[in-house]
Amino acid sequence: MAIELAPTIVGPSKQELGKTASGSVPIRAWYYNPTDDPPSHPHQYTPNREVSVEHLIELGVLTWTQIETEDYHTNEFLNNIKVDRSYNYGEVLTVAPDRLNNFEALTQKFFTEHLHEEEEIRFILDGIGYEDVKDFDGQWIRIEIKKGDLIVLPPGMYHRFTLDENNYLKALLLYQGKPCRIQFDQGPDADAMEVRKRYLESVLLCKQNGDIKDNQLENISYEDKTKDDQLENKSYEDKTKDDQLENKSYEDTKDDQLESKSDEEDDVSVVYTPTIHSLELATTNMSFQAMTV
């Protein structure tokens, strides 16, 4: 089911490029805790599970903060973005019970998961709201949008919107080309839309392929490390064997030295013993001769 809200056209922006602002505080985002609280509550985990701006960019979400809202028509920073991204039409929309017809029905519809064929661009002039977007794994991420914030959601991205507990938000809605605010609720028909397929191919699948590649590289690195460890162990084993062989060689040398020493001692004994016997024999002969005389 699609809903189209007729916009009030402000007209094309013809401002020149302005200087970009710096030092902005990052937009706040966190993983949505699906409790039974009303959608207007923050729905934070305890402790809060924050999501970085870098992660939002990976999903295709662009954000700027702390932009001056007074005289926004002539705001150089805002006009710089408008010209750079070809935002040439805009309308101001106030979402509040006394400012929007069919407030209850429309806010419930805004909170239904849906997508658009064009970028969704919102510059918050006053109040606070929440944009919920789907993460790579299907978890909801809640993005707080407040006065001075500018948010851009890519075409084909499933998302939903709600106000905070104050039930008030005033925003400048920007467009590329002809203004259009048709939402396509999540379902088989929306899943089959070309804009959804393009988003999947350009963002979600690229991220998954990148993760697969990272895992493959990590596995290769692990395998290389394992091989290095094996080579190191092999080297250690070889060194141990070499040490053992060296010790064995040393022990064999020592045994040879001991054996040689033993042989030398045996040789000395052999030489010495006959000498003793000769002396004894000589003495005996001398005694025998004396007796004979």
Decide which of 267 and 84 is more confident. Answer: 84
Q: What is the pLDDT of residue 180?
A: 86
DSSP 72: G
Predicted pLDDT at 273: 39
How much is the pLDDT for 150?
97
Distances (CA, A) of 115 to 7, 138, 157, 257: 18, 15, 6, 92
Which of the 8 DSSP states describes residue 67?
A: -
The Cα 77–Cα 80 span in angstroms is 5
What's the pLDDT at 272? Answer: 37
The answer to the question of whether 114 is labelled as a binding residue is: yes
| Residue 272 DSSP symbol | H
Q: Which residues partner with 91 through β-bridges? A: 173
**Rounded average pLDDT over 235-256:** 65
- Is 30 within 8 Å of 141 (Cβ atoms)? yes
Residue 265 marked ligand-binding? no
pLDDT tens digit sequence for 164-220: 999 999 999 999 988 888 999 999 999 999 999 999 998 877 776 656 445 555 655
Annotated binding-site residue? 120? yes
User: What are phi and psi for residue 30, nearest 5 degrees?
Assistant: -155, 165
Which pTM was predicted?
0.68
Strands (E), the chain: 2-4, 29-31, 62-64, 89-95, 114-115, 120-134, 140-146, 150-153, 159-163, 169-175, 182-185
Query: Are the C-beta atoms of 193 and 157 separated by less than 8 Å?
Result: no
The model's pLDDT over 124-180, given as tens digits with 9 standing for 90+, comes to 999 999 999 999 999 999 999 999 999 999 999 999 999 999 999 999 999 998 888
3-state secondary structure of 266: helix
HSE-CB for 228 with a 13 A CA cutoff = 6
Q: Which domains can be identified in the chain, with CATH numbers? A: 2-186 (2.60.120.10)
Task: Give the mean pLDDT of the chain.
Answer: 79
To the question of whether residue 73 is assigned a binding role by annotation, the answer is: no
Q: Name the residue among 56, 175, 53 with its Cα closest to residue 117.
A: 175
